[in-house]
Structure 1
Amino acid sequence: MTQSRRMLVLRAVVEDYIRSQEPVGSTALTREHDLGVSSATVRNDMAALEDEGYLIQPHTSAGRVPTEKGYRYFVDRLATVVPLSEAQRRGIREFLAGSVSLKDALQRAARLLSEITGQVAVVASPSLAKATLRHVEMVPVSMSTLLAVVITDTGRVAQHGLTVSVMPSTEDIAHLSAAVNNQCHGLSFSAAADLVRVIGASVGYDSVHSVADDLASAFESMALDERASELYMSGTSNLAHSRSWTDLAPLFDALEEQVVLMKLMSNLSEETTPSGVGVSIGSESHSPQLLHASVVSGGYGRGGVVTTDGKPQQDRSGFAEEQVESRTEPVAFVGSIGPTHMDYATTMAAVRAVARYLTDFISEGGAQD
């Protein structure tokens, strides 16, 4: 008995169980897959896989089903995720291309991902701490308050009220805004805060010195804001139609406890794997509520694209998905949650594809809220 053939048997069991959600027997396995050996040999291989912890037999006379260890072996061997078809990629592109703002794009992404996978989709908006400054506008809203409208490179918009004892002139406010936008564009909010204080203390900015200090303080608070502003979720109704409803019922509690879920999915999205996504199976999440669920997550953010020859490629048109490699600096995540018997190949490919298109959306400037 060879180890390589035994693992082919394991892969076949996982694939059949994902498709049927019924215990898989040796006879059916021999009939459905060209394994090149008899049913008795396959039965012996399955018994050995059970001894090694990859399969379990729920009932004495039943077939076998994969364990977490079996799913993990299967997922780890999906190092090269089969790309989505051109029609699927075009559908994603066209669906997201209609977005009028970052918020709209993230809502659309969650809805689209849940439709592709038939599972719960979760998309986080970028945290301010990972963003850079694109533009700031300061507008008087009362005799003692300026509203600073801050736009980040990820398309997120934040507003901060700045209190002043004496309202500077419109010209002086415009003078400070122009200096900040010219000198701080593309900087992290921490670096921008330092530079704004330097600008405010320089010659010609006496009347807006306190405004500059307040704006710098606002930037510093943004630099410390690790939270995603919103979590967009779609497809929770899919759980109600799952055949493993009893096992997945605790997942609703996990969906309500968003902090735990966000931490898990964020950590997964930052893991560097050949497939470009992170996968947590059952107890690997260390959360009792996710014991019978798997989570697939990928990061999206700033990034360019290179072809397989290493040359920069800003326009992906004409390139198949397997011909390009994304170089992404994640600023947030997109992911899918479903039962441990989920279709991992499809889910991983869909998460990766949606993450790539959200990266494109942000890298190309996106649309403003």
Structure 2
Amino acid sequence: MLTERQLLILQTIIDDFIESAQPVGSRVISKKENITFSAATIRNVMADLEDMELLEKTHSSSGRVPSEKGYRYYVDHVIGPSIHFQEVDVIKHMIQDGFFEFEQIVQMSAQVLSDLTNYTSIILGPEVNETKLKQIQLVPLSVQTAVAILVTNTGHVEHRSFTIPEGVSTADLEKMVNILNERLYEVPIVQLSNRLNTEIHLLMKKYIRNSEQLFDYLKVVLSHDDSVKLYIGGKSNMLIQPEFQNVDKVHSFYSMLENEEAIANLLKNKHNGLNVSIGNENKVEAIKNFSLITANYQLGNKQGGTIGLIGPTRMEYKKVITLLNALSSEMTDALYIWYKNNQ
């Protein structure tokens, strides 16, 4: 453990560097109101912290910058209990005021988080294998075409157009929709294909004319892919950060943002609660120069997702951790109400 003096100097350097993005020297520290040590004492403490690998000396300055180990110590031992930021109230009011659907809540949360931090926010929706079909609606657009509207228990809504086969009447379409809503209600999305090929197929043969042609279209309409539901806010925010103004430095990061599976894998296997991964603690090469902080939220009793925030290792950890904890709690509360109202 560090001495009180070492801890104070380390915290001062990290707080200053987070704000300025400039190496911190003993003279800058000596001018702080809460520092009463001489410049010589400060230099000695800084040298000790460097020997402990908590600080690093840059080539261009006599000042020091935090190392990844220093940030880890700061997160684990220096940051105190979360204090109340005004931004927490912003999150609370924006989530509580006027939301309608699950996806709107999540999209809004991702945008608010990125706006408040100037980092990139990523929110992972509930796992698709936990998502169930709630309702199917059919809206004819013309004699030949219609749009099927699929609504899940998470509030996800999809619109899929298809061609109405010749000889299929409006009455036949209504029968099909009634069969689907009666037999597929609360069926997990991943099980739809199996139910279609067995029970639904037999019922359509029995009650609907020209059912084979219509069934072929139906299989396409109700097919699902395994793509995850991702909501990203502030994709370009990383270019605001001084350390990433060279686009080449973040090329692999932006390439990763185009790959939904890669992004989802960043968040999927995180432990419950709040997790902080700093620099090389991240296993994915594209974010080894970044910090990733994640927290979980719940939808109803079982389903849940993950909130993630990616920024430089020079991240405002205290603010970000407070905001993520607040957002996790507010999303869980808001989605609980939404979930109960939509059962």
Kindly indicate whether the alpha-carbon contact (under 8 Å) linking 1:154 and 1:365 is maintained by their aligned counterparts in 2.
no
Which residue matches 2:88?
89
- Paired residues, what number? 336
**Does 1:187 find its partner at 2:160?**
no
Deviation at 1:160, TM superposition (A): 3.2
Which residue matches 1:321?
none
Distance 1:175 1:112 in 2: 44
Q: Report the residue type matching 2:189 in the other structure.
A: F
TM-score, normalised via structure 1 length? 0.70
Name the SS for the 1:186 alignment partner. Answer: coil
Which residue matches 1:226?
227
Q: Report the residue type matching 1:296 in the other structure.
A: I
1:131-175 residue CA offsets vs partner (Å, 9 max, x unmatched): 321211134445565532111223222233455645544444334
**Does 1:157 find its partner at 2:154?**
no
Instruction: Write the mapping of 1:60-139 to structure 2, written as runs, cut at 5 A.
Output: 62-77=62-77, 82=82, 84-85=84-85, 87-96=86-95, 97-102=97-102, 104-123=104-123, 128=128, 131-139=131-139
Distance 2:33 2:186 in 1: 55
Distance 2:121 2:14 in 1: 23
- CA distance 1:235–1:202, shift in 2 (3 Å): closer
Which residue matches 1:322?
none
- CA distance 1:113–1:145, shift in 2 (3 Å): same
Which residue matches 1:244?
243
1:85-118 residue CA offsets vs partner (Å, 9 max, x unmatched): 4x53332132233345555444433332223113
Aligned Cα root-mean-square deviation (Å) = 4.2
Kindly indicate whether the alpha-carbon contact (under 8 Å) linking 1:89 and 1:353 is maintained by their aligned counterparts in 2.
yes
Deviation at 1:341, TM superposition (A): 0.8
TM-score, normalised via structure 2 length? 0.74
- CA distance 1:118–1:296, shift in 2 (3 Å): same
Deviation at 1:301, TM superposition (A): 5.2
Which residue matches 1:323?
none
Which residue matches 2:315?
342
Which residue matches 1:329?
304
**Does 1:52 find its partner at 2:57?**
no
Flag structure 1 segments of 5+ consecutive residues without an equivalent. 305-326
Name the SS for the 2:22 alignment partner. Answer: coil
Q: Report the residue type matching 2:304 in the other structure.
A: E
Distance 1:84 1:193 in 2: 49
Deviation at 1:203, TM superposition (A): 5.6
Distance 1:260 1:165 in 2: 37
- CA distance 1:203–1:225, shift in 2 (3 Å): closer
- CA distance 1:295–1:167, shift in 2 (3 Å): farther
1:211-261 residue CA offsets vs partner (Å, 9 max, x unmatched): 467545644x31x32243x64433725734x33344676326623542457
Name the SS for the 2:242 alignment partner. Answer: coil
Which residue matches 1:18?
18
Name the SS for the 1:244 alignment partner. Answer: helix
Distance 1:161 1:78 in 2: 56
Distance 2:157 2:293 in 1: 28
Distance 1:215 1:302 in 2: 29
Which residue matches 2:326?
353
Distance 2:251 2:60 in 1: 33
Which residue matches 1:263?
262
Distance 1:76 1:261 in 2: 31
Distance 1:75 1:364 in 2: 33
Kindly indicate whether the alpha-carbon contact (under 8 Å) linking 1:137 and 1:177 is maintained by their aligned counterparts in 2.
yes
Which residue matches 2:291?
294
Name the SS for the 2:91 alignment partner. Answer: helix
Kindly indicate whether the alpha-carbon contact (under 8 Å) linking 1:144 and 1:167 is maintained by their aligned counterparts in 2.
no
Which residue matches 2:207?
207
Name the SS for the 1:151 alignment partner. Answer: strand
Q: Report the residue type matching 2:257 in the other structure.
A: Q
Q: Report the residue type matching 2:227 in the other structure.
A: E
Kindly indicate whether the alpha-carbon contact (under 8 Å) linking 2:23 and 2:61 is maintained by their aligned counterparts in 1.
no
Flag structure 2 segments of 5+ consecutive residues without an equivalent. none
Deviation at 1:195, TM superposition (A): 3.4
Q: Report the residue type matching 2:242 in the other structure.
A: R
1:294-336 residue CA offsets vs partner (Å, 9 max, x unmatched): 33344445245xxxxxxxxxxxxxxxxxxxxxx7621xx5433
- CA distance 1:11–1:291, shift in 2 (3 Å): same
- Percent of residue pairs bearing the same amino acid type: 24
- CA distance 1:265–1:217, shift in 2 (3 Å): closer
Deviation at 1:279, TM superposition (A): 3.4
Which region of structure 1 is more displaced relative to structure 2, 32-41 or 206-215? 32-41
Q: Report the residue type matching 2:292 in the other structure.
A: V
